Amino acid sequence: MTPDPTTNVRVPARRRRFAGVLGRHAEHHRGERIGWLRAAVLGANDGIVSTACLVLGVAAAGADHRAILLTSVSGLIAGAMSMAAGEFVSVHSQADTETADLARERAELQHDPASEHGELAAIYVGRGLDPALADQVAGQLMAHDALGAHARDELGLSETTAARPMQAAFASAASFSVGAVLPIAVVAMAPAAQLLVWVSAASLVFLAALGALSAQAGGARVWKAAWRVAFWGALAMAVTAGAGALFGTVV
């Protein structure tokens, strides 16, 4: 153990490992999963709900088994491509904003480092340090990695939450496809006369399992997440089936 130069407190060696522009803590936290977990849960949930809703709506309208199966497969392909494109565009917009903010901060550090030092010290004062210590901390952090310090403490950017468009797009498309395959498999195996019941029940089970798995991966309450995901999925399926039955009767 060695003393922390800013506080003279002895700090374990495993807490002093940093790498990269923004720094990397030696310990691992669940927040490191947020980049792919959000996209994966969104994609899988959308795959299950949208495909199940599509099946229930078409089935309630009176379509035959073959038409329902073809429609659901088409929905899988279209949904996966849509999720990938939408996620890539939206996350890339975030990445562009982060890049622009970092470029602006880099220019400010080059043109007026003294003002940037004062700005960083003011942030630490606002967090509870006394002015002298805040000035010392800001000076040492800027000497080590000025851009990283401002990115983290002024802009709120970190390696954990950094935008990764390709990762998000792939995770969304893959998870959507996995989610959509589940109700499609039920459609392929379930008796045509009981298709609505089988797809509804199985999809609710799939949604509850997804909520539980995502909660476990993120360290949240499993049953609460499972109930929340299943409830909204059930509501979406009920509305879609009702609309299918209504329009099927009208037609």
Q: Above 60 in pLDDT, residue 163?
A: yes
Q: Give domain status of residue 7, yes or no.
A: no
pLDDT of residue 22: 42
pLDDT of residue 143: 87
Q: Give domain status of residue 200, yes or no.
A: yes
173-194 b/e (C-beta count within 10 Å ≥ 16 → b):
bbbbbbbbbbbbebbeebeeee
pLDDT band per the 50, 70, 90 thresholds, residue 20 = very low
Q: Above 90 in pLDDT, residue 226?
A: no
- The pTM (predicted TM-score) of the whole model is 0.64
Q: Give domain status of residue 47, yes or no.
A: yes
| Dihedral pair phi/psi, residue 163, rounded to 5° | -70, 130
Q: Give domain status of residue 150, yes or no.
A: no
Q: Give domain status of residue 175, yes or no.
A: yes
Contact 208, 227 (CB under 8 A): yes
Cα–Cα distances in angstroms (integers) from residue 231 to residues 225, 234, 237, 244, in the given order: 10, 5, 10, 20
Q: Which residue has the higher pLDDT, 6 or 109?
A: 109
Q: Give domain status of residue 69, yes or no.
A: yes
Q: Give domain status of residue 127, yes or no.
A: no
Domain count for the chain, please give it: 1
Q: Give domain status of residue 23, yes or no.
A: no
In terms of residue numbers, what domain contains 80?
33-57+64-116+159-250
